[in-house]
Amino acid sequence: MTATRAHRAVLDAEVLRAAALLRPDEDAVQVAARAAWTVLVEPGDGVAGTLIAAYGPVEALELAMSDSSLLPDIGDAKAMSEARARWRPRADPRAVADALHGCREVGGRMLLPGDPDWPIALDDLGPHAPIALWVRGGAEALTADRSVSIVGARAATPYGETAAAELAGDLAADGTVVVSGGAYGIDGAAHRAALGAGGQTVAFLAGGVDRAYPIGHQQLFDRIRGNGAVLSEVPCGAAPTKWRFLQRNRLIAAAGLATVVVEAGWRSGSLNTAGHASSLGRPLGAVPGPISSAASAGCHRLLREYDAICVTNAEEVRELWGGGGRVLDPTPAEDPDRRRLLDALSDRTPLTPEELARRTGLPTERVRGLLGLLGVEGAARSHDSGWIGQTRR
């Protein structure tokens, strides 16, 4: 059968040429199909993701552009027809060609699933994973061993910016890639500190990577591209919209081993990023601040309502992913006898078990047993003829 394929309405000759220029020596139809999808859909379109996962980008496009009711793996016919209704108005081959040319014109690349430097952490988004990524800079920062997402308010205070800078600088200095959103405030402070420490940083944008948004970070993005990457799942020329900002946050949350919210007001968009981290099962940290500061109210909310872990320095941030993750069981109630013995131990003067029994009112056998346990925990150690406390109470 040589009936014209419906997808050729989108993947016309100009589009295929543009695709071949951007990614030479590859199947231009495959490349062009993914580029087309980034033009057709809003970020995170789960129907598109499911269709592409089932059929590949070319056949999925064919199904999207045709009226075929044969969808053996996509059960929801209504969802499919709604999806076609929202995609087709955007199925303009000129827009797809512009996206491909535009990327090449700014020296960018198109990153596709399966590429060696495709960030597989984003695959945890399942059907809502990006279909492709438009990148400027070196994408290898996305596949580094360690990465952390540092986010927070645009309306940051000096306290928040300092905290973000200290955390990001310390983490970047030991090779952890700092992931953020390139916004004013906390994001900017984190990116700058990472660069200042000689480390790498990655910025996920809501709009196309051809345009600096916010405009005041144009030079920052230039520097980031030299030591990391600027990425987007929407093509060059696409504007940053509210929806795209919110969806971009899911990429930030997915890209880091953990997400840390440094400073956030009660309604801050970074709480949205925290929500994505929770949905993905990524560890979530929040930096506390003065209870008198509205700029920290969102972080305190995360500690109370989102099970975020209180982090106060870079080491505690590392523990978010390196320490085996969130302990699910609450700290068991402390043995009161253990508490009494800890109270009675001196950090300087060795005390015998008998002396400790006298001080605590506990039987000597009990004291000996507890001392053994404390010794194993490193909270006490024997010295000369007695025991010394090793714990900061």
Kindly identify the residues of this chain, within the stretch 167-226, that bind its own copies according to CB under 8 A: none
Residues 143, 269, 36, 21, CA torsion sign:
negative
289 touching its own copies, by CB under 8 A:
yes
Contact between 315 and its own copies (CB under 8 A)? no
Q: Which of 135, 247, 318, 321 binds its own copies (CB under 8 A)?
A: 247
Q: Which of residues 80-109 bind its own copies (CB under 8 A)?
A: 82-83, 85-86
Q: Is residue 272 close enough to count as binding its own copies by CB under 8 A?
A: yes
Does the footprint of its own copies cover residue 313 (CB under 8 A)? yes
Q: Does 373 participate in binding its own copies (rule CB under 8 A)?
A: no
Identified binder of its own copies from the candidate list 56, 288, 350, 386, rule CB under 8 A: 288
Q: Is 377 in the site for its own copies (CB under 8 A)?
A: no
108-112 — which CB contacts under 8 Å span 24+ positions?
Answer: 108/134, 108/135, 108/136, 108/209, 108/210, 108/236, 109/22, 109/134, 109/135, 109/136, 109/139, 110/22, 110/23, 110/31, 110/34, 110/35, 110/134, 110/135, 111/135, 111/139, 111/231, 112/23, 112/31, 112/34
Closer residue to its own copies (CB): 5 or 366:
366
| Nearer Cβ to its own copies (29/91) | 91
Binding of its own copies by 151 (CB under 8 A): no
48 or 229: CB nearest its own copies: 48
Where do the DSSP E strands lie in the chain?
A: 109-111, 133-137, 147-151, 177-180, 201-204, 228-232, 259-261, 284-286, 309-310, 380-383, 386-389
378 is a contact residue toward its own copies (CB under 8 A): no
25-54 residues near its own copies, rule: CB under 8 A: 41-42, 44-49
Residues in a beta bridge with 381: 388
Q: Is the dihedral of CA 41, 46, 49, 52 positive or negative?
A: negative
Residue 246 binds its own copies, judged by CB under 8 A: yes
Contact range with its own copies by CB under 8 A, out of 9-17, 26-34, 281-289, 374-382: 281-289
